[in-house]
Amino acid sequence: MVPKAGPSETRSIETLILNAVELKQQKGGAAYASGKTLIVFLDSGLGEWLPNKVTRQLPPIDFDAVWVVGLQGVVSGKYIYGISRLHMLPDGNAPTWLIRIEQDFNSWDVRRLQ
């Protein structure tokens, strides 16, 4: 979890995401992480971040996959989430989607951004 940033926070949102991954990796190394997917919930309130930049800086880890999920906001009655997998594809991009969910959770749409 990357919680809301306090007023004195000086680290970038990318650094906070990387720190969250590192914290979980250090929790138990390969014995803890192997075969698992790590999901980082992003609630920092620090604005936009760049999935490609974070993915390029990701150190070697034992998790099978790392995903970052963050609520972007509520627009026209829809919850807007950004979801990225921290894994570089052959085209040089970390796959990223925008998901819009109706407030009653009965319908949604998914759009691939990269």
Whether the model clears a pTM of 0.85, i.e. scores above it, the answer is yes
Give the CA distances from residue 65 to residues 21, 60, 110, in Å, rounded to whole numbers and listed in that order: 11, 12, 20
83 neighbors 69 (Cβ within 8 angstroms): yes
Which residues, including other chains, have CB under 8 Å from residue 91's CB and lie 6 or more apart? Answer: none
Of the pLDDT bands very low, low, confident and very high (cuts 50, 70, 90), residue 60 is very high
Domain boundaries, the chain: 13-112
For residue 31, which phi and psi values (nearest 5 degrees)? -60, -35
What number is the average pLDDT over the span 90-106? 96
**What is the pLDDT, as a whole number, of residue 38?**
96
Q: Is the pLDDT of residue 46 over 90?
A: no
Of the pLDDT bands very low, low, confident and very high (cuts 50, 70, 90), residue 3 is confident
Q: Is the pLDDT of residue 105 over 90?
A: yes
103 neighbors 93 (Cβ within 8 angstroms): no
**What is the pLDDT, as a whole number, of residue 75?**
92
